[in-house]
Amino acid sequence: MASPLAQKLAKALGSPVTGSKPMRGGDIADVSCLTLGDGRKVVAKRPRADQGDTTKIEAMMLKHLRAASDLPVPEVLFQEAGILVISHIEHQGITNARAAAEDVAKHVAALHRVTSGDKKPYGFKADTVIGPLPQKNVPSADWISFFRDQRLLAMARSCLNTSRIDAGFMTRVEALAAKLPDLIPRDPGASLLHGDLWAGNMLIDGDHAAGFIDPAISYGHREMDLAFIQLMGGLDPAFFDAYHAHFAIDAGFHEDRCALYQLWPLLVHVRLFGGGYVHQVGSVLDRFGV
């Protein structure tokens, strides 16, 4: 007799699960490709025992992206404590790097055209996650204070509290935080951000983007996503020219703000992995004289 979960899945998916194959790429969850009795494939994610259960939050983020934008993301098919099932997106990897980068640029620029419209536009209606880590999103009318308090300092304190950095290093981050009014705009457009645009979260099929997975959404300065892509996206340099053609990049991004906004993903990686990422953060702090 099928287990209670198998019965739930069969009812939700309209067909029983007949096969399961592990998939690569799950850093915080065990990921499997499930074959259904009707021949369809779906993806199941189960958080590992040493990680928190973020399936409900991930489902909410995917649903928001599908409702608010045209970004191709998986459909949420089933979620309960300990499991998330989403649609499977076929992709074979990059065969035309330039065309793929240009297609990603088209999708990301369109995503960034989606704005909050709220009086306090920066943040989100709920806290989210980036990987296994909490991501605060208390709505704010001021981008500088949002980025300072809920991104830069929040993650640096998490690194300090877990002994990834020491008090002296934290003091340097705080000194940079004090300089932010001179370095970033106070009220840029509040764009819908994917939030975790590294190479593994962009599913490329030949010459185009088939889908985007594992979001860490909020509304914020779109340059956050651009800085993430420049650091970890693994895309052809044509991406930035193509993005600029769709949605002009403001002066000063490549020269200064890109490195500044890269502190967020770098600190996330310091918190998760330590090691060389601490030195990369230190290099950015050196650049800004703190």
Query: Rounded to two decimals, what is the model's pTM?
Result: 0.95
Q: Residue 52 belongs to what domain range?
A: 4-87
Q: What dihedral angle (degrees, nearest 10) is formed by the CA atoms of 120, 253, 236, 263?
A: -70
Pairwise CA distance, residues 14 & 18, whole Å: 13
Please identify, among 87, 108, 132, the residue that sits at the C-terminal boundary of a domain.
87
pLDDT confidence of residue 5: 87
Pairwise CA distance, residues 135 & 152, whole Å: 11
The answer to whether 217 and 128 have CB atoms below 8 angstroms apart is: yes
Residues 210, 236 share a domain: yes
The answer to whether 191 and 113 have CB atoms below 8 angstroms apart is: yes
Mean pLDDT throughout 190-196?
98
- Say if residue 225's pLDDT is above 90: yes
Mean pLDDT throughout 172-198?
97
Pairwise CA distance, residues 189 & 219, whole Å: 9
CATH of the domain at 80: 3.30.200.20
Antiparallel, parallel or unpaired: β 202-206 and 93-94: parallel
The answer to whether 243 and 108 have CB atoms below 8 angstroms apart is: yes
The answer to whether 93 and 158 have CB atoms below 8 angstroms apart is: no
Of residues 62 and 274, more confidently modeled: 62
Number of domains in the chain: 2
CA 78 from chain centre, in angstroms, equals: 21
Q: Half-sphere exposure of 97 toward its Cβ, with a 13 Å CA cutoff?
A: 7
Nearest to 200 by CA among 99, 94, 109, 111: 94
Residues 21, 105 share a domain: no
Antiparallel, parallel or unpaired: β 93-94 and 191-193: unpaired
Please identify, among 29, 52, 87, the residue that sits at the C-terminal boundary of a domain.
87
Pairwise CA distance, residues 136 & 141, whole Å: 15
Residues 54, 107 share a domain: no
Pairwise CA distance, residues 218 & 116, whole Å: 9
Average pLDDT, the chain: 95
CA 5 from chain centre, in angstroms, equals: 29
Model confidence band, residue 1 (pLDDT cutoffs 50, 70, 90): very low
**Active site residues per annotation:** 196
- Say if residue 73's pLDDT is above 80: yes
Q: For residue range 96-150, what is the model confidence (pLDDT) as tens digits?
A: 999 999 999 999 999 999 999 899 999 999 999 999 999 999 999 999 999 999 9
The CB density around residue 187, as the number of other CB atoms within 10 Å, is 12
Pairwise CA distance, residues 68 & 110, whole Å: 11
Residues 117, 14 share a domain: no
Q: Is the dihedral of CA 46, 51, 52, 58 positive or negative?
A: negative
Residues 154, 239 share a domain: yes
Mean pLDDT throughout 142-161?
98
Residues 133, 58 share a domain: no
Residues 100, 75 share a domain: no
Model confidence band, residue 237 (pLDDT cutoffs 50, 70, 90): very high
Residues 225, 159 share a domain: yes
Residues 126, 175 share a domain: yes
Residues 97, 78 share a domain: no
CATH of the domain at 254: 3.90.1200.10
Q: Is the dihedral of CA 235, 236, 241, 246 positive or negative?
A: negative
Pairwise CA distance, residues 248 & 228, whole Å: 17
Please identify, among 69, 87, 105, the residue that sits at the C-terminal boundary of a domain.
87
Residues 104, 22 share a domain: no
Residues 117, 251 share a domain: yes
